[in-house]
Homo-oligomer: A and B are copies of this chain.
């Protein structure tokens, strides 16, 4: 087979479907808007489809919101079936769930609750596996296009994937488990034409506010620097999906210009 050209790879004849699992106001919302603006039909799923950010996104004609607890394998299977029926099979699947239990935040190993640690692993790493499994089953079921690229599975990950910080064992365990999943999938599935990659956000995300400033999603900080702009992150997700299969990146870590690392 000859190398297909970049143009062919990125301009399929029919509308592409993207499925984003995780419905926060940062990366998920930015990806939904960017993909819709680039002609995708976008499905976005969260535990509750009535979150304010989803209600706002649902105003867009090409963005469709779904409810799904991704830590439940059966619900994820149902989600993929519903999206396939509504929009078609997704060629781009994004897992963007943080999954940290609030009660375990900044707890040392001596203090953290074992059951909350398990919740964190289930909500983050197990949900990533559930989503990945359905994505693989769906993508394998399709004919191989001329580009040799069946589809893309992207995982969002965090600094803790690179380095386990003190008083953050549960999150480090969840993030590094996701890395293990992504690495194993990449080696298994890239030879089948499925691009697997993770994007590590080594930064706080700065979500735009009504006053034009950006705000740290968790800490309520308002600052302009040292926070990653989710609209810029979304560009990287789309670029990864559009990479030709001769040059697939597995991992990209993004950090602000003034981040210490």
- Beyond A3-B214, A247-B232, whether A190 also contacts B129 by CB under 8 A is no
Q: Which of B168, B173, B181, B184 contacts A166 (CB 8 A)?
A: B184
Q: How far is the CA of A215 from the CA of B187 in the complex (A)?
A: 25
- Beyond A132-B109, A224-B2, A244-B232, whether A183 also contacts B172 by CB under 8 A is yes
Quote the shortest CB–CB distance from A251 to chain B (angstroms): 7
Q: How far is the CA of A181 from the CA of B185 in the complex (A)?
A: 22
Q: Which of B130, B183, B212, B252 contacts A252 (CB 8 A)?
A: B252
When distances are taken between beta carbons in the complex, the residues of chain B under 8 Å from A254 are 243, 247-249
Tell me if B193 and A164 are in contact (CB < 8 A): no
A residues 142-162 near B (Cβ < 8 Å) are: 148-149, 160
Number of copies: 4
Q: Which of B3, B109, B118, B188 contacts A184 (CB 8 A)?
A: B109
In the complex, A38 has a CB within 8 A of chain B: no
Quote the shortest CB–CB distance from A224 to chain B (angstroms): 6
In the complex, A236 has a CB within 8 A of chain B: yes
Residues of A within 8 A of B (CB): 1-3, 6, 73, 108-110, 112, 114-115, 117-118, 121-122, 125-126, 129-130, 132-133, 136-137, 140, 148-149, 160, 163-170, 172-191, 193, 195, 203, 206, 212-214, 224-225, 227-229, 231-233, 235-236, 239, 243-259, 261
Can you list 18 contacts pairing A with B, beta carbon distance less than 8 Å?
A: A2-B224, A3-B229, A110-B140, A129-B173, A164-B184, A167-B184, A169-B180, A176-B176, A176-B179, A177-B180, A190-B258, A203-B246, A206-B246, A228-B246, A229-B244, A236-B249, A246-B256, A250-B255
